[in-house]
Amino acid sequence: MSSVALDPCPALEDGRDYFAPHRPLTVLGPSRSDNASPSNITRFTPARETRFPSTASRAPDHAFWAAPAHSAASLQFLGWGLRNFSEHAPAVRQSDEWVYAVIESGAPTLVMKGRSEQISAPALVLIGPGRPFTWRDDPAQTTKMLEWRWRRPIHPAIAQAQADAVKHFTLAPSELAELRQLHAFTRAEVHRGDSCSDTALMGLHALLEALVVRISECSACDPRKEIVARAVRWIEAHLATRQPLARLADFLGVSPATVRRLFREQFGSTVMKTIAELRRREAERMLAGKEVTVKEVAYHLGYRHPHDFSRAFRKYTGKLPSRLDAACATSTGA
């Protein structure tokens, strides 16, 4: 994960004036809940059918939700799905909103006045309200995006950033998965639009910004080490698991082959050898106690029979657990 500085803008080969005034987007039709009444209308309304202005360069219908005009809601806009920026470049935006964009696939170019940068997926882009910008793309290329626009940040680390801030970070697979899930939850909540939606969206906003800050703080870190560290913590808490590799892969959200590769890279060993070593350490720790038997240790570590545990313990330590147990008891008695 790395933050990339934006370089001076190269010449725009297509000759478009990206910063000329654009006709604003219009929304047709009512924006209300199906069962709206004075008692249940909330600030957040369900997504509604939208149409772009009918012009010669009309863009296709894109998937998005927008808050009602003049709404004081914190969440102003959600966007998702495929975009073709080469044929339908969006109008330059500068508003009071903070933009959080996730590039799921593709490599669009973020264009600003005097600056531009091509951003390859998977990436997270944070754009402050004081920065006019638009997107463009190579001909015949499409970009898959997720987007939130909030009136103001709530996390201090983002709130203290300059209004014209622009930052972007390469995402690890697990981070991309978390952002996708948060966006799906946010879409579901604005569709629901009930009396709990304000509270729910506030919580989703906090989760989003906490994840953004964590990604920014770990931009110089190796995400593989963090994944392996989480894997080791999970193993230590689940030493009795009968199918550790499959369960660990489920927990991490990756394939068993990826787990094997990460352990080879980080430890130069296999997952099962690492699990065996952690079980040995836990067995020695337990057997050093006063009131734990070999049978109890075996069952605690997931062995079906104490003999299986004794055999494995001897293989890795060269001694039987019963002898260690007896030695500890003698030492304690002395």
More confident residue, 9 or 211: 211
Which pTM value belongs to this model?
Answer: 0.55
293 domain residue, yes or no: yes
237 domain residue, yes or no: yes
Pair (187, 287) in one structural domain: no
Residue 153 reports pLDDT greater than 70: yes
Answer with the one of 217, 243, 269 that is the final residue of a domain.
217
pLDDT of residue 51: 33
pLDDT of residue 17: 38
Please provide the size of the chain in residues. Answer: 334
1 domain residue, yes or no: no
Pair (201, 258) in one structural domain: no
Q: Is 143 helix (H, G, I), strand (E, B) or coil?
A: strand
Q: How confident is the model at residue 131 (pLDDT cuts 50, 70, 90)?
A: confident
Q: Mean pLDDT, to the nearest integer, of 176-184?
A: 95
Q: Mean pLDDT, to the nearest integer, of 125-137?
A: 89
Pair (183, 229) in one structural domain: no
Look up residue 170 and give its two tokens.
Answer: 């390469």
pLDDT of residue 42: 36
Look up residue 134 and give its two tokens.
Answer: 């638009």
Pair (169, 144) in one structural domain: yes
Answer with the one of 185, 217, 249 that is the final residue of a domain.
217
Q: How confident is the model at residue 10 (pLDDT cuts 50, 70, 90)?
A: very low
Pair (139, 193) in one structural domain: yes
Q: Mean pLDDT, to the nearest integer, of 260-266?
A: 90
159 domain residue, yes or no: yes
Q: pLDDT digits over 50-98, tens only?
A: 333 333 333 555 788 999 887 888 999 999 999 888 777 676 766 678 9
103 domain residue, yes or no: yes
Q: pLDDT digits over 200-214, tens only?
A: 999 999 999 999 998
Beta strands in the chain (DSSP E): 7-8, 63-66, 75-83, 98-105, 109-112, 115-118, 123-127, 133-136, 143-150, 166-170
102 domain residue, yes or no: yes
Pair (78, 177) in one structural domain: yes
pLDDT of residue 268: 87
Strands 63-66, 133-136: pairing kind: unpaired
Answer with the one of 195, 217, 239 that is the final residue of a domain.
217
Q: Please provide residue 84's backbone torsions phi and psi, each rounded to the nearest 5 degrees.
A: -115, 90
The total number of structural domains in the chain stands at: 2
- Report the CATH number at residue 189: 2.60.120.280
Spatial separation of the C-alpha atoms in residues 238 and 202, rounded to whole Å: 34
DSSP class of 3: B
- Report the CATH number at residue 306: 1.10.10.60
pLDDT of residue 63: 86
Query: In terms of residue numbers, what domain contains 203?
Result: 7-217
Pair (27, 80) in one structural domain: yes
**Mean pLDDT rounded to a whole number for the chain:** 77
Pair (167, 288) in one structural domain: no
pLDDT of residue 332: 45
pLDDT of residue 105: 93
Pair (241, 198) in one structural domain: no
Residue 129 reports pLDDT greater than 70: yes
Pair (279, 319) in one structural domain: yes
Residue 24 reports pLDDT greater than 50: no
Pair (304, 202) in one structural domain: no
pLDDT of residue 112: 86
98 domain residue, yes or no: yes
2 domain residue, yes or no: no
Angle between helices 321-333 and 271-287 (to 10 degrees): 30
Pair (209, 293) in one structural domain: no
**Residue 258 to residues 35, 183, 263, 264, Cα–Cα distance (Å):** 48, 26, 9, 10
